[in-house]
Chain A
Amino acid sequence: GENVEQHPSTLSVQEGDSAVIKCTYSDSASNYFPWYKQELGKGPQLIIDIRSNVGEKKDQRIAVTLNKTAKHFSLHITETQPEDSAVYFCAANANTGNQFYFGTGTSLTVIP
């Protein structure tokens, strides 16, 4: 089955700096890669996703890149703000099934 690894587990950045979270996957059949943000005491929220037919997707301060050959994808947050502080999860899914495989999460702290 699929195995998703996520690094780092914790990340602290100064407000205004960029944050990068990386994930790798093992199953070449995976073709959908969502990222979720989970604030304390709440459920994860989808913030951005990318499909395997594109290499990069951007939405304001958030971007995701995908390298299919190397089987890794990354979340980039620019101009970080304190409200970006949360736990971020990556996931991988193959459209042949409905199973999502999650990374172990990254706790991001943005220091004002």
Chain B
Amino acid sequence: GAVVSQHPSRVICKSGTSVKIECRSLDFQATTMFWYRQFPKQSLMLMATSNEGSKATYEQGVEKDKFLINHASLTLSTLTVTSAHPEDSSFYICSAYGQGEQFFGPGTRLTVL
């Protein structure tokens, strides 16, 4: 299957700082990328849908000013958690959609102290 990378895999930051997570589709062009959040032992929670060259569509309850998404190219999307707080600590997973299939990145573990 297609390869999707995420960077960093783990990040620890202080409360109030901003953190950027990159998602790249390595071997295909993704028309759409998705960002998910996952709490321990729970399912994937879709945060936003990101289409290349346009503004992201956020799910209800997700603050667009807090979770900034940029999808500048068909192979790269970024999620920036602004002014992070401990309650933002979670596992963030991106996925890339192309040719009718969805492939996930390995995830980023964010810990906010």
Interface: B8 (CB within 8 A): no
CA–CA, A104 and B39, complex, Å: 12
A95 contacts across to B, CB distance below 8 A: 100
- A interface residues, how many (CB within 8 angstroms): 22
A36 contacts across to B, CB distance below 8 A: 104
A91 contacts across to B, CB distance below 8 A: 102
Interface size on B, as a range, is 20 to 34
Q: Which of A42, A98, A102 has the most CB of B within 10 A?
A: A98
Indicate if the CB atoms of B107 and A42 lie closer than 8 Å.
yes
| Contact pick for A46, options B6, B34, B103, B106, CB 8 Å | B103
Indicate if the CB atoms of B106 and A42 lie closer than 8 Å.
yes
Q: Report A's interface with B, CB cutoff 8 A.
A: 32, 34, 36, 41-46, 49, 89, 91, 93, 95, 98-100, 102-105, 107
